[in-house]
Amino acid sequence: MDFSIDKPLAALRDKVARFVRETIIPFEKDPRWGHHGIPEDLRRDLNKAAEKAGLLGINSPKEYGGQGFSHIEQAVVFEAAGYSILGPIALHFHAPDEGNINLLEKVATPAQKQKFLKRLATGEVRSCFAMTEPDGGAGADPVLLKTRAKPDGNGFVINGRKTLITGAEGAAFAIIMARTGDGPGDCTMFLTELPNPAFKIHRVLNSMDSSFMGGHAVIDIENLRVSGDDVLGELGKGFQYAQVRLAPARLTHCMRWLGSAIRAHDTATEYARHRQSFGKRLGDHQGVSFMLADNAMDIHTARLAIWQCAWVLDQGGRGSNESSMAKVICSEAIFRVVDRSMQILGGKGVTDDTMVERIFRDVRAFRIYDGPSEVHRHAIGRRIVEGERKAKG
């Protein structure tokens, strides 16, 4: 692996970092940023600022005006953008749109790309990805999928309930996973334009995080009619396409949140350099300096895990095992960094005088979404055991 960053990429990283610090961080005090995430008018203002700086949609495919980053390039730029939670939204590579752009580029037909991907890649619209279900349905175990698409003429009728659907409120279209057969792997993805009365937002959940566009919604899908042209990819390959989407998407979450963890660490470091306690600077106390050292090591470890997985993906590997390891390593290391930073800040850390309190609430959820740590550990352990069995066989 080559860990060097060439001059053009380093220059772009520095440009993104300056843009986030000088232009985007002031937006963090905008009263429009509410409990259910960033509203559409605030997103538009952030996007306009990025467009003015020549940075809007730089991660999108080249045919839609982006630079078509490799995964290593993403790792460098996304970390810089993530220094503010609002940074990835401004540059338009936030979740779930970034993952949907990647999926559509790889799987969609030319007609679907023209209808859906072009508008999404340029930031004209937002989207959502509807897989997770309540009441014993698909979650960490997608095989339990209950939403069903039944053939109807040249199309399908979809019925089911989804939950924790990020960005559904205000999305221009949805990618829906639904069962199209009775076998454990009989699942298909469908595209549908929104709003649609058959795709009804039952309620937007009150969650501890607040950094996602439109929050997280419960969706009732009642007799939603889609045509055969709305099938994304091939019938019955929904689970395979989910892996096409999820492995890189887990990794880009790690990249963005690493930037926010560095922000928390920098905030705590600055405080420790100036706050006086028991006759000396807070940072001169060994208990605090050890926490800062542990932060630096966790940041370093997380970055290495990201780069290693990014390298595998750039070499054409599936990266399933690497992305699972990166997800666990990064989500837990990043949480420790933010948690220690809050501890160093003391009483100030639990207020909104700094961004650390908000980062803490948002980053805690990262250990759950895109697969809880325990599910990834189970998958990694299963691959280890199966590998041993194959070796002995």
Give Cα 107 to chain centroid, integer Å: 19
What is the pTM assigned to this prediction? 0.94
Produce one character per residue of 245-254: b if its CB has 16 or more CB atoms within 10 Å, e if not: bbbbbbbbbb
In sequence order, what E strands does 180-291 have? 187-193, 199-204, 216-227, 231-232, 276-277, 280-281
The pLDDT of residue 12: 98
Instruction: Name the amino acid, one letter, at 236.
Output: G
Yes or no: say if 245 and 129 are a contact pair by the CB < 8 Å rule. Answer: yes
pLDDT, tens digit, for every residue of 232-251? Answer: 999 999 999 998 898 899 99
Yes or no: say if 150 and 170 are a contact pair by the CB < 8 Å rule. Answer: no
The pLDDT of residue 246: 86
pLDDT at residue 205 above 60?
A: yes
Q: State the Cα–Cα distance between residues 40 and 86, nearest whole angstrom.
A: 13
pLDDT at residue 305 above 90?
A: yes
Structure tokens at 151: 């053939």
Give Cα 369 to chain centroid, integer Å: 9
Phi, psi of 262 (to 5 degrees): -65, -40
CA atoms 363, 368, 374, 378: torsion sign? negative
Express the helix, strand and coil content of the chain in percent, nearest 5 each. 55, 15, 30
The pLDDT of residue 390: 63
Q: Count of CB atoms within 10 A of residue 168's CB?
A: 27
Domains, the chain, ordered by start: 7-94 (1.10.540.10), 127-235 (2.40.110.10), 239-392 (1.20.140.10)
